[in-house]
């Protein structure tokens, strides 16, 4: 299903279609076009608590300009977040002169955010803005973790292989917290180990009993540049005070670039 085509005479290297500016921001090429878009894959999760900070959303341009560029922030009518759940601190964002990006903030309400979560969908309006894409911010009232969910874990694929194991089945990986939030975890693993061995970061979140993948993870070993691992149709569950074993389910090939999408599950067992 996920056929990864390699030459028998050459070694194929997969390169990301992106560059990095002098601030460490990934800036996509878009074939040299002047485009402005939401960073971070156009999605994120905002865990709201009494101690949480505002959620910062970054808007990136593929080029710089010798003058400030301002873009309007619009709320998509398909959003499920109620107005009481958040405050948009500005309805515009500015990319300063000579810079590739600008930021704006969303403030969550601990009194009205829910454990089930809601989606605030934002759109950009302005010169060269990608109007057909948006930023999907999942606003969730945070549920404290009583166990760490960090350290060494054995990962095992418990769903059928699709062109071999999707991640490094049977390997020991190290889970770590990230700068994204106290509920986000990451680990390094090779993708499609029958073909590639370079470690790649995989990010997921522990959201009130659900293991979610709100940020699409780019596969570094595939037949297409836009092969992503993303949120599952039905999330696996975890127990807040027991990190000895849990499962992670994700959508394999979100956009069907190499074939039909499928649901893949890995079991994590603490070592």
Range among 156-160, 180-184, 225-229 with highest mean pLDDT value? 156-160
CA distance 207 to 212: 7
R_g of the chain, CA atoms, integer Å: 19
Name residues whose C-beta falls within 8 Å of residue 164's C-beta, 6 or more positions apart in sequence: 192, 193, 194, 195
Please tell me which residue, 130 or 154, carries the higher pLDDT value.
154
Q: Using the predicted structure, report yes or no on whether residue 18 has a pLDDT greater than 70.
A: no
For all residues of the chain together, what is the average pLDDT? 86
Which residue is listed with tokens 């309400």? 109
**Poorest-confidence range of 28-32, 33-37, 191-195, 225-229?**
28-32
Query: Two tokens at 230?
Result: 């993303």
The secondary structure of 211-238, three-state, reads EECCCCEECCCCCCCCCEEECCCCCEEC
Query: pTM here?
Result: 0.61
CA dihedral 156, 160, 163, 166 (to 10 degrees): -30
Q: Using the predicted structure, report yes or no on whether residue 20 has a pLDDT greater than 60.
A: no
Pairing type for strands 36-38 and 26-28 reads: unpaired
pLDDT tens digits, 200-258: 999 999 988 899 998 889 899 878 777 899 999 999 999 999 999 999 999 999 988 88
Domains and CATH numbers, the chain: 35-141 (2.60.40.1740), 151-270 (2.40.128)
Q: Using the predicted structure, report yes or no on whether residue 24 has a pLDDT greater than 60.
A: no
Across the range 35-63, mean pLDDT stands at 90
Q: Using the predicted structure, report yes or no on whether residue 8 has a pLDDT greater than 50.
A: no
Q: What is the pLDDT of residue 124?
A: 95
Range among 9-13, 55-59, 130-134 with highest mean pLDDT value? 55-59
Please tell me which residue, 225 or 3, carries the higher pLDDT value.
225
């Amino acid at each position: 299903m996920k056929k990864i085509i390699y030459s028998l005479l050459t070694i194929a290297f997969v390169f990301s279609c992106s560059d990095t500016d002098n601030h460490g921001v990934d800036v996509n090429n878009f074939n040299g076009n002047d485009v402005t878009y939401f960073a971070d894959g156009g999605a994120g999760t905002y865990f709201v608590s009494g101690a949480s900070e505002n959620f910062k959303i970054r808007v990136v341009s593929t080029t710089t300009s010798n003058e400030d560029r301002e873009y309007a922030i619009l709320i998509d009518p398909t959003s499920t977040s109620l107005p009481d759940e958040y405050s948009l601190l500005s309805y515009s964002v500015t990319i300063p002169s000579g810079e590739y990006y600008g930021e704006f903030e969303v403030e969550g309400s601990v009194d009205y955010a829910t454990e089930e979560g809601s989606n605030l969908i934002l759109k950009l309006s302005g010169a060269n803005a990608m109007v057909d894409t948006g930023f999907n911010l999942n606003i969730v009232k945070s549920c404290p973790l009583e166990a760490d969910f960090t350290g060494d874990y054995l990962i095992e694929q418990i769903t059928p292989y699709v062109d071999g194991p999707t991640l490094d089945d049977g390997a020991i990986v190290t889970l770590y917290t990230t700068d994204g939030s106290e509920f986000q975890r990451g680990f390094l693993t090779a993708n499609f180990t029958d073909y590639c061995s370079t470690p790649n970061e995989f990010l997921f979140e522990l959201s009130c009993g659900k293991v979610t993948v709100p940020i699409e993870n780019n596969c570094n070993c595939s037949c297409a540049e836009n092969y992503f691992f993303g949120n599952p149709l039905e999330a696996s569950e975890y127990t807040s005070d027991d990190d000895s074993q849990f499962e992670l389910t994700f959508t394999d090939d979100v956009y069907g670039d190499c074939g039909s999408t499928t649901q893949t599950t890995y079991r994590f067992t603490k070592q």
